[in-house]
Structure 1
């Protein structure tokens, strides 16, 4: 017994000696250009690859697991770190299709070589002021495999509330400890002091990932939608996972271009043929198209669109997107739109094509529509949820770009910054838009959640004299006022903006209200979130040329406060044209004088809104 005890002690001494003598695993850290945001990566005591995010000297995301399951291997466990390389990047991106003319793209990057389960891989991380982004890279020499699960986790330093949603659902504020459902990217969280956005960028060959509650308290983990998997073959690069930190809700807006910054630029800049603008949806007749073109020309719209049904029932394989239904004389409508260019800008025609038709005939319709003179396409019901679906969709976006069409993708697809690489992708849905008749809470949550990922086509359903927001499927009144509808055209960003979604243009006769739709741009020289709280209220100022537009909306309760005019030169005076609810279901218009540097007092009733257009004296 004594001999056994002696050998046990000898073994423990030997293990301790090895532990002391063994070199410590390296830990790497990089900081943002302003040094306030830090990201470090190391191997923990259990030999797992972990990371931390530090903001202003405080840990925001604690040691959190990195890695993924490749075939039957767990990459990230038993990790050995190798060399680290580091570089800085400073760039000013000219971007004529965004919320600002210039996108500032400054960051510090590190690439860390690692090996796990005999598999070499690289972790690449970039640190921006207020944000971090990281991704996994498998080398070209890697054998084909299947990623069955991503293990990336987010262990938060305190209890947070997440605004849970999936695809086009409503938002449900939920504490992490009570979370039972998954949440889409981008996910917005707050603990009352900090506001976080956990997002995704450059998803071009992966699958849809979501956030799920992890085993430890206050932690989230990454899961694949419906248990999907990802096939790899040679060089493989995962999407970026991003974490952005702000001290206010409106501070999240500074990261709304982060996904663009993380995607490659277009081959030769932004082509001149890509035109942003507003569109109106036409009835499926020749006259419907002509009427919409007249309305578009009179109100500063750039496009009309023939939606589902112009080539037959959209989900039937017998419907052919190369054949127009007899009710529409497509050549006449397209030519009529072009003729409007004799006295102004031509009005382009955008055609909707469902995934059934796209999958069957994409390579046929693109050169055909070019011969017809079509301006753009709208993809409907594509699969943005699976590896197979995204592997079809991203090459399809490139084909549309190569053929010279603007593009709008509807239904469940959300942006990950690919509009920078393919700038013809002007907008996408991935949002519970106005045709679902959301309430004012939903409308005032969106600027701080889904819109942090990028542009969204909200499909405004503005009422007219003939009908109050009704169609064959939904017969109900809007849950918000006309003033809120008008203001949201400023608050929400989309280079291609669908207006008057259920309306017939001949029924819109109130030109005072239509002035806002006619004048408001869809891309901007600069933008500022002025004030706001998630689900309560928001005010946004945007400039196009010499004119400022300020949109302010209230949630489910009245909002009274002041809007800081600090975005204007101090002391400079402006004529302000104000459009707001008159309390009787219509819009009133008035003019006042404002001075830069002061505060504009507002009293907005629940569900209401206000638009101000400012021009210097």
Structure 2
């Protein structure tokens, strides 16, 4: 017998025997493979009729047998479960997405539906396996004609080995801790690491559910879901979480997709940064090429300052100005009216000047004003000639708040106006459904003085959920914004390539008159905000990263170092063959400024990145004219 075959057979028998011994009272009811067969999911029932799953990536067990189920005030979907049938289906589609990191996306996976019954109720567990990723959701469409309250979601993640989680909460810093030592909660998406293993646990298509966070589970190396604000959860780890409202459903209950994405490298996690878009069904199949992304300049709240800001935006090849909080009064006061502008801020003149210069106008409205007057301001702003809105301080934590936000997103989208949702809300792929929703915050940006460690953690964590508004505070000769910026100028510049945002806000605190004709700011005239092709080239969480992105035939490279020196050499194998490229390189000059230099490169040439701690480098690679 062939030795390799003998070893494989022995290994398979051993694993099967081991699993049967450990889970002797469980019966496997279904098995699903990814298109490349390297990702596998199994489902089982125990003697009490409790449903479990486990996940294998390559030959590595990622998630060991873990509970599935939801508990409601109606029929219990926790135990006594039987699987009445299974349906498998292959999904293989390609769709254009000109508002993202890549101009087109491939949605290829294998799908399994478990038709389940429990205590006179029927429900489905729908699972999709992508290459490297497992997603699943609960679909309950026979809840009866009475309101049912959701008490808990039993979904757990029993990790097969010890992992470290990059814990964070909304706009906080990141703290890497062992899963078994996790204090409190960690937001979705959360990234976990073990030797040569990287996992992202997230969610997609959260329209009317509630905010879920991860907490330490009851077993070693285990995580569970907790409703953050909508219910009370008690166990031996967590005493209580405040109860604001109940989570209620009528007729049907469909949970968001739970996602588990796996990679053998940190940069491999980027393969899943647009997974959420693939899991949300669009309202129609129109390609949103009529929507204009772009760079944004925030103007002062006075008429002349805004007019000057429009001229500066035109000079810098920006597409929009943002009129932020304060233009209609104190944002949190109910007497402040977002249908009226302050006397010393003459909005009609500002909008008219912006239109003349080809610049769009985005207006900020706080949640207080939005709840009171959203149906009034949308037709009014459209009449004024406003291009979009920025929502402030929305409720992104409760079912009530997320349901309101979903309806508000649709209303703004239906009016054909851009939307940027600020503060702690994070995306779950709803831009596919409402393509005018270009950006959101849910990130610790320059307003909150992030350091280089934080900056080089973000690409592997929060940005896996989708676009984020980082609000860059790029310095000038008048103000270095030392309170906000704790990294070099070149890193600030490079991060506009590393970070993805269709509405990139640059010069956040800057005054237009303070930015002269410095050579470095020329870069911001050219850098796009959406891309035809993107790839993470090299990097490690919290240490450093290089990202390459293409728009038309021009490539942009952004590299950033963490708290220590960082770098590496890679091949420019993504450049066109036989084409010579002229590189404009923006790097730190060691004196707090930017040095600009030129070089030529061709396909597969080596490119060296060598950065000081907290440093960066931005590069534009243009095809040489013949």
Q: Distance in 2 between matches of 1:270 and 1:308?
A: 33
Any idea what SS the aligned residue of 2:85 has? strand
Q: How does 1:52-63 map to 2 (within 5 A)?
A: 52-63=54-65
Identify the residue that residue 489 of structure 1 maps to in structure 2. Answer: 496
Mapped pair 1:286 → 2:303: yes
Question: Deviation of residue 566 (structure 1)?
Answer: 2.0
Any idea what SS the aligned residue of 1:90 has? strand
Mapped pair 1:553 → 2:560: yes
Identify the residue that residue 68 of structure 1 maps to in structure 2. Answer: 70
Cα pair 2:141 2:253 within 8 Å, conserved: yes
Any idea what SS the aligned residue of 1:226 has? coil
Q: How does 1:187-586 map to 2 (within 5 A)?
A: 187-228=190-231, 229-340=246-357, 346-469=358-481, 476=483, 478-569=485-576, 572-586=579-593
Q: Provide TM-score, normalisation by structure 2.
A: 0.91
Cα pair 1:263 1:421 within 8 Å, conserved: yes
Cα pair 2:230 2:398 within 8 Å, conserved: no
Moved more, 562-571 or 380-389: 562-571
Which digits, 9 at most, give the CA deviation of each residue in 1:499-558, with x for residues without a partner?
100011111114311111111000000001000000000000000011100000000001
Q: Distance in 2 between matches of 1:593 and 1:94?
A: 33
Identify the residue that residue 594 of structure 2 maps to in structure 1. Answer: 587
Any idea what SS the aligned residue of 1:77 has? coil
Question: Deviation of residue 598 (structure 1)?
Answer: 2.5
Question: Deviation of residue 438 (structure 1)?
Answer: 0.3
Is there any run of 5+ residues in structure 2 with no aligned partner, and where? Answer: 1-24, 232-245
Identify the residue that residue 7 of structure 1 maps to in structure 2. Answer: none
Identify the residue that residue 146 of structure 1 maps to in structure 2. Answer: 149
Cα pair 1:39 1:54 within 8 Å, conserved: yes
Q: Distance in 2 between matches of 1:132 and 1:308?
A: 41
Q: Distance in 2 between matches of 1:465 and 1:33?
A: 54
Identify the residue that residue 95 of structure 1 maps to in structure 2. Answer: 97
Picking from 147, 157, 161, the partner of 2:160 is: 157
Q: Distance in 1 between matches of 2:576 and 2:284?
A: 38
Question: Deviation of residue 270 (structure 1)?
Answer: 3.6
Cα pair 2:185 2:213 within 8 Å, conserved: yes
Mapped pair 1:133 → 2:135: yes
Is there any run of 5+ residues in structure 1 with no aligned partner, and where? Answer: 1-22, 341-345, 471-475
Which digits, 9 at most, give the CA deviation of each residue in 1:366-404, with x for residues without a partner?
000011000000000000000110111100000000111
Question: Deviation of residue 563 (structure 1)?
Answer: 3.1
Q: Distance in 1 between matches of 2:364 and 2:191?
A: 32
Q: Distance in 2 between matches of 1:272 and 1:580?
A: 34
Which digits, 9 at most, give the CA deviation of each residue in 1:242-270, with x for residues without a partner?
00000100000000000000001232424
Which digits, 9 at most, give the CA deviation of each residue in 1:299-343, with x for residues without a partner?
110000110000000000000000100111111111111112xxx
Identify the residue that residue 83 of structure 2 maps to in structure 1. Answer: 81
Picking from 596, 603, 608, the partner of 1:601 is: 608
Cα pair 2:97 2:288 within 8 Å, conserved: no
Which digits, 9 at most, give the CA deviation of each residue in 1:383-433, with x for residues without a partner?
000011011110000000011100000001000000000000000000001
Q: Distance in 1 between matches of 2:434 and 2:267?
A: 28
Mapped pair 1:179 → 2:182: yes
Which digits, 9 at most, give the CA deviation of each residue in 1:244-297, with x for residues without a partner?
000100000000000000001232424444210001000001111111111111
Moved more, 407-416 or 117-126: 117-126
Question: Deviation of residue 298 (structure 1)?
Answer: 1.0
- Counterparts in 2 of 1:24 and 1:168: CA distance versus 1, 3 Å: closer
